[in-house]
Structure 1
Amino acid sequence: MGQNSGQMPKKRMLRGRSFRLWSLLILFVLALGLPVYGYKIEPYWVEVKTVPLVLPHLQPEFDGYRIVQLSDVHVVDQMPQSFLERVIEQTNQQQPDLVVITGDIVTSDPQRYASRIEAAFKAFAAPTIAVLGNHDYWSDPGAVQQILQKGNVELLRNQVYTVERDQAQLHIAGVDDVWAGAADLDQVMTLLPKTGAAILLAHEPDFADVAVTTHRFDLELSGHAHGGQVAIPFVGAPVLPPHGKRYPIGQYQIEDLIQYTNRGIGMVSPRVRFGSRPEITVFQLSAPTAEQ
C-alpha cells in the first residue's frame, strides 16, 4: 500500500513535466512557424472565389456573364514576376468575359515596374478595365495610366465603359480615386445611360455610402482594405485604412446596392498576410427571373 502511494505522485509529476515539455515545444513551433506562414506562405496562397449574383437590372442577354476582379496588385521588387504571371494565368482560367482591376497597381515608383506590369497584363485573355487607387495617385497617376495603356488595359477616370449584346447593354463605370479627391460621381452620372444594369468600380469601398444615393448601380466593386491584411481569429482586422473601415472585406447589402470588397493580390508594409489570403473574385452574373 505504501509503495503504490509513493509511485502515484511520481507518475503525476512525470505526466506534468511531459505536458509542460509538449506545451513548450508547441509554443516554439508556433513561434517559428507563424512568421514563416505569414511572410512566405499565405501571401502567395491565392484564393479563387466564385460569387454568384443576381443583378436587378441585368438583361437576359447578359445572363451568365463572368467578371473577374483583381485589386491592389502592388507590384514591388519583393513580388516575384512568376507570382504575378501565375495570377494572370489563374484569372484567364476562369474564362472571364471581362476583367476589372480596382486600383493600386503599384505602391510607388511606377516607371521602375513598367516593363513587368506591361508584359504581365498583355497576357489577359479578356477585355480588361481598371481604376486608379490611392497609391497610384501618390506615386504618379499619369505614369500608371501609360503603363496600363501599353498593357492593353483601359483606364476609367470618372468614365463609363459599355458592353453590348444584341440590343442589351451593361455599363461599367469607374470613379477616380476617392482618397486623392479625384472621384467625380456627378461626371459619371452625366455619362451613364439611363437604362441597362450599371456596375461601379471604386477603389475605396466606403464610397458605397455615396454611390447608393444615386440608386443607379446594382453593384460596386472595390479593394483598398486588403481585408486588413492581418485578421485575428474571432476578432477581425486590427488595422484598416481610411475609406476602408465600413466595408473592409467581402459582400455587403447597402439598401439597393450590393458592395463587394476584394482582399487584393499584393501587400503594403509590413509585407505579411494572416487570415486574409490574396483573392481573385469571379462574379457569375444572372438576370432576375419572373419569380424574383
Structure 2
Amino acid sequence: MVLAYGLLGLIVLLFFLVVYMWRVANQDRLIIQDLYFNDFPEGFGEIRIFFISDIHRRTVSDRLITDVIGKVDLVIIGGDIRESGVPLERVEKNILKLKGIGPLYFVWGNNDYEGDFHELDAALLKHGVKILDNTSVSFESKKSEHLALLGIDDISVERDRLDLALSDCGNEHFRILISHNPLVKNQIKSEHRINLVLSGHTHGGQIRLFGFGPYRLGGITKEGECMYITSNGYGTSTVPLRLEAKPETHLFTLKKGESTGFGDALEKVY
C-alpha cells in the first residue's frame, strides 16, 4: 500500500512537472538590454535590433509583436524559423508578423534544411526578407560612417563561409555578425574587426536545471572588442518542454559608451 501511494505521488509530481515545463516553453519573454561599444559610430546615434532565433514550431505571439512595433530599426531571425513537419503557411505567417516590425534579415539554421528548404528560400524571397547566406549588407550614417551586418550559413551542415561574408564587407567602422551556431566564435580573429556576434541554436540547454544542462553556451560574454550573445531561442526541439532555460526574444539597443559592455536586462513576460 505504501509503495502504491508512493508511485501515485510520483506520477502526480511528474504530471505537474510536465505541465509546468510546457507552460514555461510557451512563455513569451522579451529581454530588453542596452549594449555599449567604444567603437560604435556616433553618427548612428543608436540602433535598435529585435533578435529572435529558433522559432521551430511556434507561432510568434501578437502581444509580443504589438509591444515592439515602433521601437525597432532592424529585425533579425537567427535561424531555425521552422523544422520538419512545420507547414509553410505557419512560417509565412511568422514572416509577415516579424516584417511588420521592421526590415527583416535571416540566416539559415540546421533545422531549416529539414524537408524542402527550397520552398522556404522561395517564401523568404517572396516576402522581401534579406537572406544573409555568407554575405553582408552595409548601412551609412549621416556622418558617412558605415556599419556592416554579416551573416553566415549554418555551421553544422557545413555551408558556412565566413571568409565570403568578410570579403563582401568594405571598410566599415562597426561589424555585426549573425550565425545560427555560436561555434562561429572559433573562427573569429581580431583582424576580422567584428564587434558583435548574435547566435542561437543551443536553446540554453532547453531542459537545464540550476545552470547545468547540455550545450549551455548562452548568455553574454566579451573577449577583446567583440561581444558574443547566444539566445535561448523562442521555440523548442524534440519535445515542447523547457525547465530553467526559458524562451527568449531580445530588443537590443546598440550605443556608443564605455562600460562593461552591457546594461542591466529588463525582462517582460507575456
* TM-score class, shorter: 0.7 to 0.9
The answer to whether structure 1 residue 113 and structure 2 residue 95 are counterparts is no
Query: Which of 77, 85, 95 is matched with 1:101 structurally?
Result: 77
Using structure 2 for the length normalisation, give the TM-score.
0.84
Q: How does 1:272-291 map to 2 (within 5 A)?
A: 272-288=241-257
Q: 1:134 aligns to what?
A: 110
How far, CA to CA, are the matches of 2:45 and 2:175 in structure 1?
14
The answer to whether structure 1 residue 203 and structure 2 residue 180 are counterparts is yes
The answer to whether structure 1 residue 74 and structure 2 residue 51 are counterparts is no
Query: Which of 233, 245, 263 is matched with 1:264 structurally?
Result: 233
Secondary structure, aligned partner of 1:65: strand
Deviation of the 1:165 alpha carbon = 2.3
Change in Cα spacing, 1:155 to 1:118, as seen in structure 2 (3 Å) is same
Query: Which of 33, 36, 41 is matched with 2:16 structurally?
Result: 33
Deviation of the 1:152 alpha carbon = 3.1
Change in Cα spacing, 1:89 to 1:157, as seen in structure 2 (3 Å) is same
How far, CA to CA, are the matches of 2:130 and 2:174 in structure 1?
20
Unaligned runs of 5+ in 1: 1-22
Change in Cα spacing, 1:138 to 1:26, as seen in structure 2 (3 Å) is closer
Alpha carbons 1:122, 1:152 under 8 Å: kept = no
The answer to whether structure 1 residue 160 and structure 2 residue 136 are counterparts is yes
Report the more deviating stretch, 279-288 or 55-64.
Answer: 55-64
Q: 1:148 aligns to what?
A: 124
The answer to whether structure 1 residue 50 and structure 2 residue 27 are counterparts is no
Change in Cα spacing, 1:120 to 1:195, as seen in structure 2 (3 Å) is closer
Alpha carbons 1:215, 1:257 under 8 Å: kept = no
**AA of the residue aligned to 1:226:** H
Change in Cα spacing, 1:113 to 1:104, as seen in structure 2 (3 Å) is same
**AA of the residue aligned to 2:106:** A
Alpha carbons 1:121, 1:152 under 8 Å: kept = no
Q: Deviations over 1:142-171 (max 9, x none)?
A: 222222223332111111122222212221
Report the more deviating stretch, 205-214 or 130-139.
Answer: 205-214
Secondary structure, aligned partner of 1:227: helix
Unaligned runs of 5+ in 2: 1-5, 262-270
Using structure 1 for the length normalisation, give the TM-score.
0.78
Aligned length: 251
How far, CA to CA, are the matches of 1:214 and 1:182 in structure 2?
23
Q: Deviations over 1:198-249 (max 9, x none)?
A: 000000012112124544100000000000111101x411x22xxxx6xx21
Deviation of the 1:25 alpha carbon = 11
**AA of the residue aligned to 1:137:** Y
Deviation of the 1:45 alpha carbon = 1.4
Query: Which of 127, 134, 156 is matched with 1:179 structurally?
Result: 156
Report the more deviating stretch, 50-59 or 171-180.
Answer: 50-59
**AA of the residue aligned to 1:64:** E
Relative contact order, CA 8 A, sep 6+: which one is greater?
A: 2
**AA of the residue aligned to 1:260:** I
**AA of the residue aligned to 2:151:** G
